[in-house]
Amino acid sequence: MAYPDRDAEYLNKLRDYYAEARRIPSHQRVAELIGFSKTAAQKFLERLSSAGFIIRTPDNDAWMPTKTFFQRSLATSAVRAGSPEMIEPMQGELFLIDDYLVKKPSATIMIPVKGDSMTDAGINDGDLAVVERDKTAHPGDFVVAVVDDEFTLKELAKEKNSFVLKPHNKAFSIIRPKDALEIYGVMVGLVRRYFR
């Protein structure tokens, strides 16, 4: 038997399943996943639909997630890097990572960072740079630029009347392009995943 007051718990199980399988499972699989009957699974999915978490596909043969499905809880207080502080994530507003990082979806691309020329700025090998293609670059911005037909991520800086690309690692030299500097996009965010 399904318990509507535990739908948040069931929804999180469904989110975990989706993260691995990249699809909303059938009624039968939902029943097996959560541990109740196929009828209860159907009612649960209908409740999720009413709450705006899932919708039917255009041909009405399956469920698919909505934007709301991917929302996460945002804590009401920031975490301190010093003294411990209580965090209460369920009391905060709902938060969608895309809404925070991506302001112009059609002009935004995620680019993997390779190398260690920006480590002193906290940008490491393996990070994902969130880059906005049509954003105007200003000195001090981190930009993806084209230099000698290769892409590089550096800080845009100015020397006299010329733009240069400044690394954030003393082992690397400032790049002073001979021709016009081509800016591919401006970094507006950074994504990092930590592994054990």
Among all residues, which ones are annotated catalytic? 117, 154
Q: Which residue carries 């480590």 as its tokens? A: 119
Q: Cα–Cα distance between 29 and 36 in angstroms, integer?
A: 10
Number of H-type helices and E-type strands within the chain:
4, 10
Please report where in the chains the tokens 């990092």 appear, as a residue.
192
Of 68, 60, 28, 61, the residue nearest 44 (C-alpha) = 28
